[in-house]
Structure formats: C-alpha cells, structure tokens
Amino acid sequence: MKHIKPTLLILLLLGIFIYPYLDNLSRAKINNPEWDFSQKKFLKKEPDPNWEYLKDRLTSGDGNGRFINRYKTPILFELFEASKEDSLAVNNTIKELRDLLPHKTIDYFNNYIGMSSQEVIKSGIYHNPEQGYKYKGNFKILDLTMGVIKMYFDGYDTTLPKSLLHRTSRTDLGLGNYISRTYKNKSYSNYFDVNYIYFSLSNAVPYLNKEACVKYEMLRSLCDIKNNPQANTSNVPSAVFNFKEYYPQSYVFTYQDEFLLKKLYSPDFDQQFEDYIYSHYNWRYAMHYLSSDELKTVSAMVLALLVLCLVVCSKDFFINPYFKLSYLNYLVPALIVFSSIVGLNGLYNHLSNLDLLIYSTWSHFFMLLVFMVITPGLVVSFFIWGLEKIFIKNDRSFYTKLFLKSGLLFLAIIIPFSIYSYVLSKYIVYEGVATMSIINPVFAIALVVAIARGVLLYLKSYSDNIIKQKDLELSELKALNTKAELKSLQSQINPHFLYNALNSIAELSHTDANKTERMALSLSDLFRYSINRQGKQMSTVKDEVEMVQTYLEIEQIRFGERLEFTIEIDETLINEPLPMFLLQPLVENAVKHGISKLETKGIIKLVIHKTEKGLVISVYDNGPKFPEGLVSGHGLQSVFDLLRLSYKSHAKLNWVNKPEKKIEIVIDYYL
C-alpha cells in the first residue's frame, strides 16, 4: 500500500510527458508538403467537398469558426445614378437571390423603409428621445440604415469617408473601366456595416457584361470571404467565392457557390455547421476550429484535474520525510515540481495549439528532461538542503522556521536561475535577449512554490496539533473508562468474597466459637485493607500477598488441618505494582474448586518470580484437575478483565494440569 501512490505518480508524470511526444512524433514522420496536418490529420471520415468549400471560404482557421459573419437584418440595396439598364440588372439579380434564399428578405431600401437612407439620417426618425429607437419589424431602423448595400453607377464617390479608404478594393477592367468596393466590416451592433460598390463602366461595355459584373458584386456583397491559407481550391477556379480577391470580369456561379449561400442564410446554419465539424473531425480539432477559447478552457480544466491528481499522489513527499537519506527528501519533491511544471506546460500547449510541436524526437525529449527537470531539480534541491542545514535550528519557533523554509526555498530557486539567465544572455545567445524575460516567469513560479510550501507546512502543523489534541482527549476518556471499569470490578469482588466469608462464619458459629471469633477478626483485617485503598486501582505485590495470606488464614480456620499453604515471593518484586484484588480471586478459586472437593489434606502454593520481561504469578493446588476447555466463574472473569484493563495485550492467564496443576499469570513489563 505504501508504494501505490509513488507508482501512480510516476505513471501520471510519464503519461503527461509521453502523450504529446507520441502525437507529435506521428506528425513529424509525415514529410509530404501537400499534407495539411492541421486538417486532414484530424478527420474522422471523408469530408464533404461542399461543406469544406464553405468552411474554407467563410473561416480563416483562426479559432473563431463559430462566429461567421452574415446579414442578420434584411438584405437591402440602394441605387445611386443608376440607368434603366443598371436597374434592370439589379432587379434580375434580386429575383434570383429571392429564389435562392426564400427565408431571407431581399429588397430595395426605399421600398422596405419608405424613404432613402439619407432621408432617414437627416430626419432622425430612427430615434425618438422619448420612445427610444424606432423599429421596422424586429430590427432597428438604424441597423437597417447602417447595413444597406449602396451601389453607385457613376464611378468613384469622392465623398467616401476617409475611414473607409483602408478597406477599399479596386478591380481594373481595362479601357478605363473599373469597379471599386469596400470590404465587409461589422458595425457597433455586430451586423455588417454599410457596404459601398462603385461601378465606372462606359457605354461601350455590352449590357450582358454589365449585368454579369452587377450580379458578381451583389453576390460577393452577401458574405465575407476570408483569406484562409489552408483553403482547398475549388474544382472550378473561377467560382465566385473561390478567392478573397475579386474577379468580376470572368467568373462562374457554381453549385458550391449556391450551396454556400443557401447554407449561410438558412435559419439553423450555426447548428448545421457545428454538427458537420464535430461529425467529420475529432473533438479537439472541432473545438479548436469553432472556438479556440473553449479548447483552452477545456485544456485548463484537464490540467486542473491533473494537478489535483499530482497533489494527491505526491503530498506524502512534501509533508513528511519519506526517505532515510535527508537529501532525497529535498531532491524528489524538487523533481516532482519541475517535471510537473514542464510536463503540464507542454501538455497544455499541445492540447490548446494544434500546430505546435512540443518535441518531435527522442533526443529532444531527453534534452528537455535533462536540462529542464533533472538539472534544475538537482541544483535547487541542493541549495535548499544546504541553506536549511545552515539557517534552521531546532531551538527556533515554529513561525520562524515556517518563514525561513518558505524564504529559503524562494532563494534556492531564484539564485541559480538568475545566474543561469545572466550567463545565457551575456555569453551564449545574442545580446538582445532580455534577462528579465527569463527571470520574470521564474520569479512568479518561485513565489508560488514558496507560498505553497509555507501553506502546506502550516496546514500540516495545524492538523498535527488537532490530532494530538484529539488523541489526548481520547486517552483521557479511555483512562476514565478504565478507572470506572476497575471500580466496578472491585465493587463486584468485595461482595462476592464477603458472601463466601460470611457463609463460613455462619457454619462455624454452630460448632466452634473460638474459630468463629478468629475468622471474624481476620475478616475485619481483610476489609480494612480494602477500605484503606478505596479509590485506587493499583497496589503492590507486598500488599496483595498480605491480603491473600489473611484470606488463607481465614480459610485455614474454616478447614483446619485439611488446608496447608505456602507463599514464595522474589524479594526484588515486593514493590512492583499490581492491580488490586488480582491475586485473591485466584487463591479463592483454588480453595473453592480445589481444596473444598478433597477429603484429604489440601495444599495451596503461591509463587511469584521475576522474568526478563516482567513477572509470573503461579497458584498451585492438589485439588481436582481443571476441566477441558474454558474455566468459568465470576472470580476468574474478574482476573481476565483486570489484566485486560491494566496491561492490554501484555498479560495473559493460563491453567494447566500437568506436570502440576496450576493457574498462572504472565505479565510483560519490558516489551
């Protein structure tokens, strides 16, 4: 049982270190430049090309796949300086979009609101100081105004706000013709901000070409195509949404483009997209792709659980001395701390960052182990071991020791790493390395570890004091209980003996008055012994023998020449302590169940002698043999109980019939 926790600790640390290595090793073996390990590595089944097209265009793989931009308001267009041909081209595209996206409201701003966006802004109808924001359906009129797609057909608008110039893209079509538009941007309300499209097309451009350009720009205005370096190229290179860049002069509106728009504006798009990612990729990649913050949270929770397991498995090494060699009690905790820090840091980076290789070869793994775990562990443990030997003395108070142990641990970590970082920055790496960039995290770690050690030492001392107090209270309760039981036994023995003695006096009173008088006087001496020691649990060998001798004299009066007794005591034992009334029940048992059964002379012998561990009390008699099995009787039961309460397991009671009949008590004082 003692080695279960250390074994679990070793296995846990090995698992923390080896898991990232095994995963990274499998990646490092793949040298094919076309292999995209950040995606294909994590596939569970064959991907759907249509969903992949959508995923690669609407997300950039930056861990925010759950937040895909789209119009949450009705899609509204507003035309400026548009000719009949321009309006016709826009009308035709709006009809196609309505058929393509039946769940989405697509219209002209003027038709939907009843006035132009300039009139809305100038009139201020979108907001009433008393009633708040005005709504059109479920949407604020202000949001609808800010999200309108404005299409200018007379070239570039010189009044375009300077704040929009940085997100403007222009496509030259030749012969002075061009199209300019603003990139998508979210407004204060998390909807798309106002989008501008400028057409500068001469009359020489055929209508069909103009219509195609208008349709292309209106399609591209509906979504925000990301620059995803991991995106797979469409089977049709000229597809509308294939690239972030704009190519209105030559494009094809493919099935994949249609699939993208239909899914993007379906009412349950978010759930559909999440279901696809989780069904085709493993949970780690899916969580990272949809929300890297969630993956970091889960990774942190995993680390917290592992830290708890490490604390449970390793606490014995930190709280109590585990090894006979004192230095090992510093080295092993240091190795546990550094291996935990390095291992957990690597595991967290591995779990939360899909593209990060923690270590890719065995040599890299062992170098990390030697230079980041073993070497710091040896240095820090030697420092703290030496410093404590010098500064911490036994005569110091607990709080002084607590402060010194925490402070010395802090210094033992900081001093070696300060020297190391100084040498590293001055002689090994280029001069631009900032020493404090190395010291700061070490300082934080040292402070946390030192405080943790102080807290552990304080909690250990506090718990030890509570345990000692409880043990003391328990000992006092046991002592009180033992005292009460001993009193109870003594109160049982006295009436028991009195009953037998009075019966003997009653019998003698009819035959021999002199014997009756002698017996009564001896009985008074016997009870004087008991009364003078009232409230005591222990007596001495001398006093107990005198009581037995008085008792036997009483019985000798009763039996006359039929009873003979001898007492042999080692003189060195006369002052040894014995429980009160321990000997009398043994002798009484020999009289009652032994001598009284004989018609011839009965002999009783009491022998007390010393042994290496204590003493032995033997009572011999020549009466009938002990019966097979347990010997019952109130007297012997009281002896059993006295021995149990006084000596626990260090005393025993035996009886034998051969070579001589005797009952014997063995008491071991010096175990």
Please count the other Cβ atoms lying within 10 Å of the Cβ belonging to residue 144. Answer: 22
pLDDT in tens, 522-534: 777 766 766 665 5
Specify whether 140 is located in the same domain as 214. Answer: yes
Q: Which residue type, as a one-letter code, is found at position 220? A: R
Read off the pLDDT band of 275 (50, 70, 90).
very high
* Tokens 């970091």 sit on residue: 296
Which 3-state string (H, E, C) describes 109-141? HHHHHCCCHHHHHHHCCCEECCCEECEECCEEH
In 3D space, the residue among 477, 503, 492, 495 whose CA is nearest the CA of residue 591 turns out to be 503
Is residue 193 exposed (0-12), middle (13-18) or buried (19+ Cβ within 10 Å)? middle
Considering its fold, how many domains does the chain have in total? Answer: 3
Between 492 and 543, name the one with better pLDDT.
543
Read off the pLDDT band of 35 (50, 70, 90).
very low
Please count the other Cβ atoms lying within 10 Å of the Cβ belonging to residue 213. Answer: 22
Mean pLDDT of the region 295-303: 86
Judged against a pLDDT cut of 70, whether residue 520 lies above it is answered with yes
Q: By the 8 A CB rule, do 78 and 109 touch?
A: yes
Mean pLDDT of the region 276-289: 87
Separation CA 69–CA 73 (nearest Å): 12
Specify whether 24 is located in the same domain as 76. Answer: no
Q: Which of 180, 196, 222 is the last residue of a domain?
A: 222
* Tokens 């890719």 sit on residue: 360
Mean pLDDT of the region 319-340: 83
DSSP string for residues in 182-237: EPP-B-TTSSBPPEEEEEE--TTS-HHHHHHHHHHHHHHTTS-----TTPPPPSST
Q: By the 8 A CB rule, do 197 and 217 touch?
A: yes
Specify whether 465 is located in the same domain as 319. Answer: yes
Between 408 and 212, name the one with better pLDDT.
212
In 3D space, the residue among 320, 339, 337 whose CA is nearest the CA of residue 329 turns out to be 320
CATH code of the domain containing 596: 3.30.565.10
Between 82 and 629, name the one with better pLDDT.
82
In 3D space, the residue among 240, 80, 213, 221 whose CA is nearest the CA of residue 157 turns out to be 80
Judged against a pLDDT cut of 60, whether residue 33 lies above it is answered with no
Q: What is the CA radius of gyration of the chain?
A: 49
Between 360 and 31, name the one with better pLDDT.
360
Specify whether 428 is located in the same domain as 534. Answer: no
Between 410 and 116, name the one with better pLDDT.
116
For 600, list phi and psi in degrees, rounded to 5: -95, -175
Residue 189 is predicted with a pLDDT of 43
Token output for 244: 């972030």
pTM of the model: 0.59
Phi-psi label, residue 15: left if phi above 0, alpha if psi -120 to 50, beta otherwise: alpha
Is residue 538 exposed (0-12), middle (13-18) or buried (19+ Cβ within 10 Å)? middle
Q: Which of 170, 201, 222 is the last residue of a domain?
A: 222
Separation CA 662–CA 460 (nearest Å): 54
Judged against a pLDDT cut of 50, whether residue 190 lies above it is answered with no
Q: How much is the mean pLDDT over the chain?
A: 80
The DSSP bridge partners found for residue 619 are 606, 663
Specify whether 556 is located in the same domain as 644. Answer: yes
Specify whether 437 is located in the same domain as 520. Answer: no
* Domain, as residue range, for 334: 4-28+307-469
* Tokens 């900032």 sit on residue: 434
Q: Any idea which of 123-132, 214-223, 536-545 has the lowest mean pLDDT?
A: 123-132
Separation CA 525–CA 517 (nearest Å): 13
Between 374 and 186, name the one with better pLDDT.
374
Specify whether 630 is located in the same domain as 576. Answer: yes
Q: Which of 447, 469, 491 is the last residue of a domain?
A: 469
Judged against a pLDDT cut of 70, whether residue 413 lies above it is answered with yes
How much of the chain, in percent, has pLDDT values that exceed 70?
79
Residue 28 is predicted with a pLDDT of 47
Q: Which residue type, as a one-letter code, is found at position 655? A: W
Task: Write the CA distances from 48 to 45, 56, 592, integer angstroms.
Answer: 9, 12, 102
Specify whether 23 is located in the same domain as 77. Answer: no
Specify whether 428 is located in the same domain as 547. Answer: no
Q: What is the dihedral of CA 73, 75, 80, 82, to 10 degrees?
A: -170
Residue 37 is predicted with a pLDDT of 45
Q: By the 8 A CB rule, do 569 and 602 touch?
A: no
Q: Is 490 helix (H, G, I), strand (E, B) or coil?
A: helix
Between 465 and 217, name the one with better pLDDT.
217
Mean pLDDT of the region 62-89: 86
Q: Which residue type, as a one-letter code, is found at position 557? A: I
pLDDT in tens, 204-252: 899 999 999 999 999 999 988 888 766 777 778 899 999 888 999 889 9
Judged against a pLDDT cut of 50, whether residue 440 lies above it is answered with yes
The per-residue b/e assignment along 272-300, b for 16 or more CB within 10 angstroms, e otherwise, is ebbebbbebbeebbbbbbbbbeebbebbe
Residue 218 is predicted with a pLDDT of 95
